[in-house]
Amino acid sequence: MAANLCRKGTRVIVYDVNPDPVRDLATLGAAASTGVSDVAGRSDILFTMLPDSAIVERVISGADGVLAHAKRGSVVVDMSTIDPRVTDRLAEAAMAKGIGFVDAPVGRLASHAERGESLFMVGAAPDVFDRVKPLLEMMGTTIHHCGGVGTGMRTKLVNNFLAIVSCEMNAEAIALSQRFGLSLEKTLDVIHGTTATNGQLKLAWATKVLKGDTEPGFTIDLAHKDLSLIVEAANAEKVPVPIAAVAREAYSAARSQGYGGKDFSAMVDVLCETASIRKPRF
C-alpha cells in the first residue's frame, strides 16, 4: 500500500522495525526514517499497520510514540485489526492532543493490496474522512465510511468472523470430500453452483492452497489473533459466539502443529495430515 502511494506521486516517509521493506520503498522514492517519533513529527497524515493491539497502543500512545510527537491538527490512520476498545482509547487520547484519529482496517487479499485494489472500512468524523479519502483512493478501489471512530474496526471484526470461520468450514468439507474419494473439480463445480459457495473457497482457495501455495497472504497466526479479538469483543457486548470460539481452537491446533506462519487456507492441509487424507490439489 505504501508502494502505491509512492507510485502515485505522494511524498511518503516510512519506518519499520524490519529494514527490508524500508529499503524496497526507498527505491520507489520514499524517504527512510529513523523511527516512530521522526515519522510522526514530519507527517500531516500518518498511517500505522501493525500486528496486534498491544503493539498499536505502544506505538501510538506510548511514552515515545506517535501522539507524543505528532503535530497538532495532524491525523493518525490506524489500518491494523485490533480490539475496538483500544481504538476507542487511542481516539480519545488523540482528540485530547488536537489530533484526528481514523480506524481504517483493510479487506481483500494481499494481491489486491499490491495492485491498489484494497477495500477499506473507515471509522472517522466526516471532515477527517474527507482529508484521508484521497490517499485511501490511491491504495484501494472500495472505501466504506462506516460511521464515527471505531465503526471501521467493528465492521472488520464482523467481516473477518465470516471469512475466517468459513475457511475452517471449507477445510472440513473439502477434507471430507477427499476422504469420500470425490473429484475435487466436480465437487467444486457443484458447490459453486449452489448457495453453499463462499468467497474464500471460490476466490482465495483457487489461487492458494488448492494450487499448492500456502505461503501467507494472511497467516493462520493472524486468523487466530482475529478470532480471539472477535470472541473477546463479543463477550464484552454479551453476545454468545460459540462457532467463533470452536473455530479459534481449530486454528490453535493448527498453530501447535507448526502451521502458524502458513496461509489460513492451509487449514485444509492441517486436517488432511491429521486424518491421513491426500491433500486436495488441482
> Is 132 in the same domain as 232?
no
Question: Is the residue at 238 inside a domain?
Answer: yes
Question: Is the residue at 252 inside a domain?
Answer: yes
Active-site entry in 133, 156, 202, 225:
156
231-254 per-position pLDDT tens digit: 999 999 999 999 999 999 999 999
**pLDDT attached to residue 109:** 81
Average pLDDT for the chain = 96
Give this prediction's pTM: 0.91
pLDDT-derived band of residue 108, with 50, 70 and 90 as boundaries? confident
Question: Is the residue at 121 inside a domain?
Answer: yes
171-200 per-position pLDDT tens digit: 999 999 999 999 999 999 999 999 999 999
Question: Is the residue at 141 inside a domain?
Answer: yes
Question: Is the residue at 43 inside a domain?
Answer: yes
> Is 254 in the same domain as 178?
yes
> Is 17 in the same domain as 107?
yes
Of the candidates 99, 123, 148, which is a domain's last residue?
148
Of the candidates 121, 148, 175, which is a domain's last residue?
148
32 pLDDT above the threshold of 90: yes
> Is 25 in the same domain as 142?
yes
> Is 18 in the same domain as 119?
yes
> Is 8 in the same domain as 140?
yes
CATH value at residue 123: 3.40.50.720
pLDDT-derived band of residue 60, with 50, 70 and 90 as boundaries? very high
**pLDDT attached to residue 261:** 97
Q: How many domains does the chain have?
A: 2
Question: Is the residue at 280 inside a domain?
Answer: no
Task: Specify whether 156 is catalytic.
Answer: yes
pLDDT-derived band of residue 110, with 50, 70 and 90 as boundaries? confident
139-164 per-position pLDDT tens digit: 999 999 999 999 999 999 999 999 99
CATH value at residue 188: 1.10.1040.10
Of the candidates 148, 175, 204, which is a domain's last residue?
148
Question: Is the residue at 279 inside a domain?
Answer: no
> Is 111 in the same domain as 181?
no
> Is 207 in the same domain as 139?
no
Give the domain extent around 6: 2-148
Question: Is the residue at 208 inside a domain?
Answer: yes
> Is 19 in the same domain as 106?
yes
> Is 164 in the same domain as 80?
no
> Is 82 in the same domain as 188?
no
Measured distance CA(101)–CA(213) in Å, rounded: 37
262 pLDDT above the threshold of 90: yes
> Is 105 in the same domain as 171?
no
111 pLDDT above the threshold of 90: no
Cα angle 233, 234, 240; round to 5 = 160
Nearest CA to 174 out of 209, 203, 207, 199 is that of 209
